[in-house]
Amino acid sequence: MDAQTWRVGSRCLLLLALVGSIRSEGVQSCEEVRKLFQGRLVGPVKGLPDSPRAGPDLQVCTAKKPTCCTRKMEERYQVVARQDMQQVLQTSSSALKFLISRNAAAFQETLETLIRQAENYTSILFCNTYRNMALEAAASTQELFTDVGLYLFGADVNPEEFVNRFFDSLFPLVYNHLINPGVTESSLEYSECIRTARRDISPFGNIPKRVLGQMGRSLLPSRTFLQALNLGIEVINTTDHLHFSKECGRALLRMQYCPHCQSLALTKPCMGYCLNVVRGCLAHVAELNPHWHVYIRSLEELSDAMRGTYDIEHVLLNFHLLVNDAVMQAHLNGQKLSEQVNKICGRPVRTPTQSPRCSFDGSKEKHGMKISIRNGEETLANRRKEFISSLRLYRTFYGGLADQLCANELEAVDGLPCWNGEDIVKSYTQRVVGNGIKAQSGNPEVKVKGIDPVINQIIDKLRHVIQLLQGRSPKPTKWELHMGSGGGMVEQVSGDCDDEDGCGGSGSGEVKRTLKITDWMPEEMNFSDVKQIHQTDGGSTLDTTGAGCTAATETMSLTLMGVVMLFPGLW
C-alpha cells in the first residue's frame, strides 16, 4: 500500500466516523468548523454557531440536518471558493507559462546579442579594411542595426527602407575614398547627390537586393515567432484570471465548502461530480483547445522552416561579408561609376583635409577577427527545437484542464466514499458531461449560458497569430520580401534557393568566417593591387594587400556564445 492510498483510506475512515457520529448523536459541536473558518478565511469567529442549528437562510449549502454555517459564512465561503479555483488554475499553468516566458525572454536577449555581434563585425571590417571611411560609416552602421532590432521587437519600421538607407549612405563614402581616392572632402550637396544617385546607377550590383532578401526571409519569421510567444503568455494570463459566473461560483461553493457546514471538512468531491462542476466552470476555456493545438503546431512549423537563409543567426553574422563584397564591386567598376556620377552630379570641387582616424577599440584595431564554429548545441535553431519539443507536451492543455484540476489540485476521489454536493455517498450517479460549451447542455451541476467575450477575444487573437505563423512558414516553396511597384514591400513566393541567396552553407546557422586584416593600413590605399576573397574549406578568407601594407599578424576570435541564459540553471 503506497502513501497516497494510506492517506485516502485514513481520511475515509475518519469521514465515516464523523458521519456516524452526526447521525448517531444528532448534535455535535461546531468548534472544528469555527477553527477552520478562522484559520482558512482569517475571519472573526464572533457570531458563528457553537453547535449545529437550523439554517433556513442558507442559499446554497441547504440541508435537512442542522448546520454549522450562517448566511454570512456561506457568502464568505463563496468568495474563497472562487479564489481557490483561480489559484489552482494558476498552479496548473505555471510550468507552461514559465516555459514560454523564459524562452521568449531568452530569445529576445539572444537576438539583441546577435545584433550587437553583427554590428561589431561590420565595424571591425570598416575600421581595419576601409579605415579612411570607418568613422563616417559608423553612424549608418549603427542606425541599420538599431532598425533591425526595432523591427524584430515589433516596431513599425520597414526593412526595405533601412537596408536601402544603409547602402545609400555607403555609396558616397566608397566613391570619395576608393573610386576617387585621396585625402579630400566633398561638399555636403555633392555627397547628397551621390547618395540619391545610388539606386539609379547600382554601384553595388545586386548585393543590396540580396541583403534585402536575406533580411526579409530571416527577420520577419523571427519577429513573428517572438510575437507569437508573447501572445501565448497573454492567453495563459487571461485564463489564469478568469471571471467565473454566478452559477459557477455557487457550484464551486457547494463542492468545496458546503461539506464544512455538516462538519465534513475533510471530505473530497466525487470524481464525476468534480468533473461536472469544473467542466461547467471552464466550458468557455475548453473552446481554446483546438486553437491552442494549431498554435503550437504552427510555431513548430515556423521554427523548422527557419534554416539557412531563413536563419537569422546565419544572416546577421555574415552581413559584413556582403558589405565587403559590395564595396569591392563598386571599386572594381570605379571608372564606369565615376563617369556616371559626373554626368548626374558633375565633377566635385574638393578641398584637401585630414581624413579622420578610426577610433575603434585599440585591441580590436590591431587584430583580425575569426568567427569560430560553435558547438551545435549552442545554435539558436537547436534551442528553438528544444523549446518546441517541450511545448509540444502542452498541445491539449486546455482540453484536459478540468480533468487535471480534479485529479491533481482538487483531489477528487473515485471508488471511495465522497461528496456529491449533498452528502457522503459511495459513488456519484449523475451523468458526467464532456468538455466545451455544447457538452454542457446536460450538466446537472452548472448551467452554462451565453458566451465569454474575454475568451472570444483571445481566440480571435490566436486565430490571427496562427495566420501569421502559417504565412511565415515556407511550405514547400518560400516567401521573400520584394520591392513593389509603389515602393512598398510585397510578399512573393520564389523557388529553390540559389547562389545569390547565400544559402550554400549547412543551413544550421553554424558559420565559420576568418577575416585576416593587416594591423596597419595606409592613409591612401592602392587598390590597383589585389583585394581577393579566397574560398577555403574553412570558410571565406579575406586577404588585404596593398602598397605599404604589412602581412597579417595575429587573429582575434570573436565567438558567439549562443543564447543568453536568463535562467542558466534551467537549460
- Residue 72 φ/ψ, nearest 5 degrees: -65, -40
CA-to-CA distance for 236 and 78, rounded, in angstroms?
A: 24
Place of cell 587598390: 527
Q: What is the largest CA-CA distance in the chain?
A: 113
Which grid coordinates belong to 62?
A: 441547504
Residues 411-429: pLDDT tens digits?
Answer: 878 878 899 998 899 999 9
CA-to-CA distance for 453 and 75, rounded, in angstroms?
A: 27
Residues 167-203: pLDDT tens digits?
Answer: 999 999 999 888 887 545 567 888 889 999 999 999 9
CA-to-CA distance for 163 and 17, rounded, in angstroms?
A: 79
Q: How many residues does the chain have?
A: 571
Neighbours of 338 (CB within 10 A): 14
82 membership: H or E segment, kind and range: helix 71-129
Q: What are the angstrom distances between the C-alpha of 182 and each of 132, 185, 356, 462, 524?
A: 10, 9, 13, 59, 6
What pLDDT is stored for residue 43 in this prediction?
61
Q: What are the angstrom distances between the C-alpha of 242 and each of 174, 254, 315, 434, 451?
A: 60, 19, 43, 20, 13
424 membership: H or E segment, kind and range: strand 424-425
What pLDDT is stored for residue 518 in this prediction?
28
Helices (H) and strands (E) counted in the chain, each on its own, are 19, 11
Pairing of strands 489-494, 478-483: antiparallel
Q: Give yes or no for a contact between 160 and 481, defined as CB atoms under 8 angstroms apart.
A: yes
Q: From 335, 323, 325, select the one nearest 179 (Cα to Cα).
A: 335
- Whole-model pTM? 0.74
Q: What are the angstrom distances between the C-alpha of 82 and each of 37, 87, 241, 420?
A: 16, 9, 11, 19
Q: pLDDT by residue for the chain (571 residues), tens digit each?
A: 444 544 444 444 444 444 444 343 444 788 888 888 877 765 666 677 878 888 677 889 887 788 888 888 888 889 999 999 999 999 999 999 999 999 999 999 999 999 999 999 999 999 999 998 899 999 999 999 999 999 999 999 999 999 999 999 999 999 988 888 754 556 788 888 999 999 999 999 999 999 999 998 899 999 999 999 999 999 999 999 999 999 999 999 999 999 988 888 888 999 999 999 999 999 999 999 999 999 999 999 999 988 877 889 999 999 999 999 999 999 999 999 989 998 998 887 666 555 565 655 544 444 444 444 444 445 788 889 999 999 999 999 999 999 999 998 888 788 788 999 988 999 999 999 999 999 999 999 999 988 899 999 999 999 999 999 988 665 433 334 433 333 333 333 333 344 444 443 333 333 433 322 223 233 333 333 333 333 333 333 333 333 333 223 232 233 223 323 222 333 3
CA-to-CA distance for 287 and 269, rounded, in angstroms?
A: 25
> Long-range contacts: 438-441, Cβ < 8 Å, 24+?
439/279, 439/283, 440/279, 440/280, 440/283
CA-to-CA distance for 383 and 104, rounded, in angstroms?
A: 12
